[in-house]
Amino acid sequence: MWETPDWHEDAECAKPENLKYSENFYANKPSQQYPALKLCGECPVRRDCALWALNNKQTWGIWGGLTPKKLRRTLSVNWAGQEMRHKRFPLCPGCAAKTSSLQTKVVDRPEGGRWSTMKVVYCTECKFVWQSRTSANAVDAYHSQEEKKNNDD
């Protein structure tokens, strides 16, 4: 099980007066999701929350203003968590910038060890950075496709 992250203390959805909206975070219909998304829009820890969901491959429920559909698209996975390559490319989960604004890079893992590096995706517009192999694959695939298109022209 996950530990509750520190930023949870400042979460809009954790305020007693907002607990009545808890089910809206797990609703499927857009009209029922709306109150949850509204809270995320006012939430001071929205980016921490989105980052936590992406780094933990959490695609059930709304996190950081991202619906399950948007989380799956960002992670480039289907509803079962399996990688979906070359379907719909990720948008920035921080500012909704297009895939063309996303890049990947290899960074050192804070904990070091045998697998001492990892690939992250970052947004060149809002500087949001997250770690997901499947997102990175999709972003790399997007740029290869664009490069190929330019070479064919």
Q: Which spans of this chain sit near ligand SF4 (rule: CB under 6 A)? A: 11-13, 39-40, 43, 45-46, 49, 62-65
Determine the interface stretch with Zn ion among 30-38, 89-97, 109-117, 139-147 (rule: CB under 5 A).
89-97
Closer residue to ligand SF4, CB minimum distance, 15 or 86 = 15
By the 8 A CB rule, do 122 and 129 touch?
Answer: yes
CA 47/CA 113 separation, integer angstroms: 28
- Output the smallest distance, CB 53 to Zn ion, in A: 16
40 binds, among ligand SF4, Zn ion, none (CB under 5 to 8 A by kind): ligand SF4
43 binds, among ligand SF4, Zn ion, none (CB under 5 to 8 A by kind): ligand SF4
- Output the smallest distance, CB 124 to ligand SF4, in A: 23
Asked if 94 interacts with Zn ion (CB under 5 A), we say: yes
Binding site for Zn ion (CB under 5 A): 92, 94-95, 97, 123, 125-126, 128
